[in-house]
Amino acid sequence: MGRLREFSQNKYFILFILFAGWMVAYLDRMVMSVALTSIGDDLHLSAASLGIVLSAFFAGYALMQIPGGYLADKFGSKRIMVVSLIAWSLFTVFTGFAWSLTSLLIIRFLFGVGESGFPAASSKAIAEYFPKAERAKAQSTMLSSNAFGAALAPLFAAPMMLVLGWRNMFIVIGIAGIVLVAVYSTILKKPKQKTDDSKESKNKEISMKDLLRNSTMWKLVIAWFGLDVVIWGFASWLPSYLLKVRELDLLQAGFVSSLPFFAGGIAMVLGGWVVDKYFVGREKYFAIVVTVLGALFLYLMFKTPSLQLAVTYQIISAFFLYAGFAGIWSLPLKFLPTAVMGSAAGMINFGGQLAGFVSPMIMGFLITAFNGSYDAAFYFLILSSVISVIACFTLGDTKKSLESNVKSA
């Protein structure tokens, strides 16, 4: 028991546990992209219908982001993360029993509702265990699981689908998620002393209403929305693009579509380190540069006739796009107090999950409208990256704006 208590207070072990939770979350949600073609064939669904199925998850996920952040602040990060783990694992299992478009939409919507509290609660846990000077590195390391989960999903899902079929694949993956519930319930404890408490105690409490009135918070929401439109559109439709446009088989598409996300995971870890070391006070410029480069290589990816160059460009594009996580998420973690971090993270992530809702659906409609061509869908992603860049340019002195919000509360 003494050893267990020691682990529960070790911030790096806690970071590992949080990373593992995010990995399972992303495996559970991203295998849907790999299974999309098989589900469409079995249930006789068009690309537009499949786009709505992908978006159903994000409808529930986005809807509960702000309430989920508030609940994490009110009841603590551990409780909300455990409840989320149970809920999303169960609905992953239920996905394997879907029999129609309607049932699939309901299950995926409730899946999103169940998982919605996890992002804000895990960000709050980072704020509880890490001092402000280390939070960008810790957060970007934790969120690199997004990219690594997206990378591993095709590698797990493609062979499992060939052996088990898509229905049994969802059941097996959902059951595996239940194991983490026991780990979180046993290991996670409240830290003995909150980081930076001495500094934060000088500030008055701020409320969710104060955050909602802060213009800089909404600029961060828009910046994250634009970047996440690109990331979710890319992640959701890349396997289908490789199958139908680049004419790869299922195993090839699974392998090739995993490569950009391995690059993205590495970029997120490096991005947090670079931001903390070289971009203190200039975080927005880091986000702007990497987003522009990501959009440029995305354009080159779908324009080149060469499969080899397309694969190379998609890897480079993902590297820069995922590096943008560090630039945007470092700002609230550095300049807002721990007590409100769940609410702030939920508010910003609301923009990201709203992006996850609209992006796959709009891409599906564009692909259908242009008779299977993906060009218009990719131009839509590039336009969204421009929105993120413009929002970052308008941020001004983010540190002063966020901290003045705290003092005025």
| Per-residue pLDDT reduced to its tens digit, 141-191 | 887 887 787 777 777 777 888 888 888 888 888 887 888 888 888 877 766
Burial of 205 (0-12, 13-18, 19+ CB in 10 A): exposed
Residue 351 has pLDDT above 50, yes or no: yes
Distance CA 366, CA 143 (A): 30
Contacts of 127 (CB under 8 A, 6+ apart): 135, 195, 333, 338, 341
Burial of 157 (0-12, 13-18, 19+ CB in 10 A): buried
- From residue 46, give the alpha-carbon distance in Å to each of 55, 241, 369, 372: 14, 15, 11, 11
Distance CA 118, CA 129 (A): 16
Q: How many degrees, rounded to 5, is the angle at CA 356 between CA 184 and CA 82? A: 15
Residue 404 has pLDDT above 80, yes or no: no
Burial of 163 (0-12, 13-18, 19+ CB in 10 A): exposed
Q: Which pTM was predicted?
A: 0.72
List the helix and strand counts (H, then E) for the chain: 17, 0
| Per-residue pLDDT reduced to its tens digit, 201-210 | 444 556 677 7
Q: Are 395 and 226 in contact (CB under 8 A)?
A: no
* 3-state SS assignment for residue 279: coil
In angstroms and rounded to an integer, the radius of gyration of the C-alpha atoms of the chain is: 20
| Per-residue pLDDT reduced to its tens digit, 192-229 | 655 454 454 444 556 677 777 788 888 889 999 999 99
Mean pLDDT, range 381-390, rounded to an integer: 95
Superfamily of domain 2-189+204-408: MFS general substrate transporter like domains (1.20.1250.20)
Q: How high is the pLDDT of residue 206?
A: 65
Burial of 199 (0-12, 13-18, 19+ CB in 10 A): exposed
Q: How high is the pLDDT of residue 319?
A: 93
Distance CA 215, CA 22 (A): 29
Q: Are 359 and 51 in contact (CB under 8 A)?
A: no
- pLDDT-based confidence at 106, cuts 50/70/90? very high
Q: Are 161 and 38 in contact (CB under 8 A)?
A: yes
Q: How high is the pLDDT of residue 315?
A: 94
Mean pLDDT, range 76-94, rounded to an integer: 87
Q: How high is the pLDDT of residue 254?
A: 75
Spell out the alpha helix ranges (H) of 44-116.
Answer: 47-63, 65-75, 77-95, 101-115
- pLDDT-based confidence at 311, cuts 50/70/90? very high
Tell me the one-letter amino acid at 362. I
Q: How high is the pLDDT of residue 383?
A: 96
Closest CA to 265 of 134, 152, 354, 346: 152
Burial 282-317 (b: 16+ CB within 10 A, else e): ebbebbbbbbebbbbbbbbbbeeeeeeebbbbbbbb
